[in-house]
Amino acid sequence: MNCEIFKQNIAELFDESVASGGEQSAIQREMLEHIETCADCKALYEEFCYTMDVLTPSVNAEPSVEFSRRLSERIEKATPKRKSLHRVLYRVGGAVASVAAMFLVVINLLPATPAKASSGYFGKAAAKLNQAQSLFMRISMRTMPAENFDFLDPTAEFVEHTVQRVGEAWRVDKGDRVMFGDGGQWWQWVESWNNGWTGYGVPSVLVDLMVNPQKLMQFEKSLAEADLGVIYETRNEGGLTFVTVTSPALGDWLESNYMYMSSILESDSRREYAFDRRTKELIAASVYVLYGTEEEKVLTVDQIIYNAPIMSADVARLPEGIEFVEPLNANSGARFVGISARQAAVKVFEAMKIWDVEVLREGIPFVDVERLRDDYEGVTILEVKDAVRSGLYVGYFVPMKVQYRNGKSEELMVAMRNDTPSGGWIVDGGI
Ligand SMILES: [Zn+2]
């Protein structure tokens, strides 16, 4: 056994019989021995375990009785309802695990799974999108114009997004919130809040997929090939081929369904794609979220222009009068290293009680803490439960009951993450 052979055969370790503690084949035994002594392969294996965890729908989509039962159970249990959207998620950074990145791992590591016919359409469309020098798209989604880009609200009106991409530069504008990137750094602002943020990397899964729809096509292709019980239908109409994908919500739902239906990927959904039969290009798409037997259209790609005449200067244009802060810097979370999410949340609330600005600035980097002072100074903790994971969120949610200075008490789900430069915890939302 060596690292090369291990990498080529890693899918073997996710075979049903090994996963359920059954008989191991010779190669599986050798591979398990190998990771005892090889840190690299062990890390790869652990990364893959995590990916499989996130990828494997918690509902096995036999779209039959079991699917509907589990789904309605989950909807019923979907409490507490996320409160006032504005307050819950002010997160601006890469708060959701990079799904696109995780799917790339799957494409590389699951060569032997049966490919569905549909995967061919997605593969060709991905290539066409990749080849385009520039892209212009109009996308409508049920959300709020100021909310963060991943945020889905199936009961809200459609908000139009314009998406532009030329070379490495891209821009997504949803009316009030705008983000652009140059391939390395990104800038994001909400005009009505007069707030701007900047950072590096991929700040939003949905923005990443809007700007790089070829990743969405790769995602669908890998999903088709991974054979996770997703349902595919294809039909031809005029010069178009329609491919419909019905799949359960992605993410971890064992501990909490708090994030269920908070984004498109975290919803049970039906996605409909229209491809030009001659050019193989993706020309439109619609996404419906499913509620048991009901469904609601939540996103449509209304227009895609390949090689549109887009000027880089128009894409990379900053607003006047907005100051940009870089919330995730070396200080973020610095005092919250080496403790649990639960302990970190408690520490933040204790600092609120006595209004220790130094601690709060490190623990709540995404907002100007002075804005929170009226509401939170003097707050006391009544109850804290164990932190839970939910959906695709990279961090944890800490269920808390707190009492404010004015005597009112409230239950909160405080979002905590530690994928910060310091490795310490910060509050990412829920207050
Ligand atoms: Zn190795």
- CA 27 / ligand 1 centre spacing (Å): 14
- CA 4 / ligand 1 centre spacing (Å): 7
119 in helix, strand or coil?
A: helix
- CA 34 / ligand 1 centre spacing (Å): 6
- Please state, in angstroms and rounded to a whole number, the distance separating the CA atoms of residues 58 and 255: 11
Mean of pLDDT values over 117-124: 76
Tell me the CA distances in angstroms from 393 to 117, 290, 341, 409, one per residue in order.
Answer: 32, 21, 14, 26
Alpha-carbon dihedral angle through residues 339, 340, 343, 344, given to the nearest 10 degrees? 80
Highest mean pLDDT among 49-53, 109-113, 247-251: 247-251
Query: For the chain, which domains are there?
Result: 3-55 (no CATH), 70-324 (2.50.20.10), 334-429 (3.10.450)
- Please state, in angstroms and rounded to a whole number, the distance separating the CA atoms of residues 163 and 165: 7
Tell me the CA distances in angstroms from 212 to 183, 250, 267, 296, 302, one per residue in order.
Answer: 12, 20, 21, 25, 16
Query: CA angle, corner 292, sides to 294 and 411, nearest 5?
Result: 105
DSSP state of 365: T
- CA 394 / ligand 1 centre spacing (Å): 27
DSSP state of 248: P
- CA 16 / ligand 1 centre spacing (Å): 23
Assigned token pair, 278: 């001659």
- Please state, in angstroms and rounded to a whole number, the distance separating the CA atoms of residues 124 and 113: 19
- CA 218 / ligand 1 centre spacing (Å): 28
- CA 299 / ligand 1 centre spacing (Å): 44
AA letter at 387: A
- CA 37 / ligand 1 centre spacing (Å): 8
Tell me the CA distances in angstroms from 350 to 17, 212, 294, 372, one per residue in order.
Answer: 48, 42, 44, 14
Judge whether residue 193 has pLDDT over 70.
yes
- CA 18 / ligand 1 centre spacing (Å): 19
- CA 44 / ligand 1 centre spacing (Å): 9
Ligand 1 (ion): which residues have CB within 5 A? 3, 38, 41
Highest mean pLDDT among 55-59, 93-97, 134-138, 415-419: 134-138
SS3 content of the chain, % helix, strand, coil (to 5): 35, 30, 40
- CA 21 / ligand 1 centre spacing (Å): 23
- CA 38 / ligand 1 centre spacing (Å): 5
What are 248-294's pLDDT values in tens digits? 777 777 888 887 777 777 888 889 999 998 998 999 999 998 876 77
Better-scored residue on pLDDT, 212 or 363: 363
Least confident of 12-26, 76-90, 139-153, 321-335: 76-90
Q: At 47, which helix (H) or strand (E)? A: helix 39-55
- CA 51 / ligand 1 centre spacing (Å): 19
Highest mean pLDDT among 107-116, 127-136, 375-384: 375-384
Query: Shortest CA distance to 427 belongs to which of 351, 354, 374?
Result: 351
- CA 219 / ligand 1 centre spacing (Å): 28
Question: Which burial class, exposed, middle or buried, applies to 165 when counting CB atoms under 10 A from its CB (0-12, 13-18, 19+)?
Answer: buried
Assigned token pair, 177: 């919130």
Sequence-distant (6+) residues with CB within 8 A of 192 are 146, 176
